[in-house]
Chains A and B, each alone.
Chain A
Amino acid sequence: NAGVMQNPRHLVRRRGQEARLRCSPMKGHSHVYWYRQLPEEGLKFMVYLQKENIIDESGMPKERFSAEFPKEGPSILRIQQVVRGDSAAYFCASSPRTGTDGYTFGSGTRLTVV
């Protein structure tokens, strides 16, 4: 049973480009969460999604960031017009139900903006 799969593992983008980060939850998990970890800091919640629905996006920056979890395929975190301050590790987690039981993190995507 594969865990939470994130790709790419590393992503380099120039300032102004778009970054797309993908997350496939564990089999049987229908809840997906995205977190961001800036260098030397803890993880910060960004968004919580279920299939085709954004449940809580209270941690998402107001501009340039969006997330989706379509009926088919992985969840996507999209960052438009990236800036150097977007350089961070982006972790996706999934769980089988509401609440914190069974929360499992993926290996993360390290975004570097040059």
Chain B
Amino acid sequence: RKEVEQDPGPFNVPEGATVAFNCTYSNSASQSFFWYRQDCRKEPKLLMSVYSSGNEDGRFTAQLNRASQYISLLIRDSKLSDSATYLCVVALPAGNMLTFGGGTRLMVKP
């Protein structure tokens, strides 16, 4: 079983749509959670950290369910520029290593 699992997609959605990505992680000791965005052939960039209380940044909302070991990302009012691969990432307490999921590809169409 992979440590961090994501549906690879692709998710093809029209502009303005709401889209949700899910992710599960296997190590219950994981302490830090993130969503990264990776554009084609570029480096991953931090989109947002994920907290147990849930957090929102503009059109993006992230949720964490520790009991189910499940993380989600919701994107509202999708823009063409949101087209990218979204990477679910976890880290252990006091850890320095990030464990990446395989990514979910999003394509927003006009």
List the interface of chain A (C-beta within 8 A of B): 31, 33, 35, 41-45, 48, 55-56, 59, 89, 91, 93, 95, 98-100, 103, 105-108, 110
**Which residues of B in the span 62-91 have a Cβ within 8 Å of any Cβ on A?**
87, 91
Residues of B within 8 A of A108 (CB): 42-43
A100 & B100 in contact (Cβ 8 Å cutoff) = no
* Chain B residues bordering chain A, tally (CB within 8 A): 21
List the interface of chain B (C-beta within 8 A of A): 4, 32, 34, 41-46, 87, 91, 94-103
Contact of B98 among A31, A55, A103, A110 (CB under 8 A): A103
Chain A's interface: helix, strand, loop or mixed, by majority?
strand
Interchain CA distance A31-B94 in the complex, whole Å: 14
Q: A91-B43, A105-B44 are in contact. Are A99 and B94 (CB under 8 A)?
A: yes
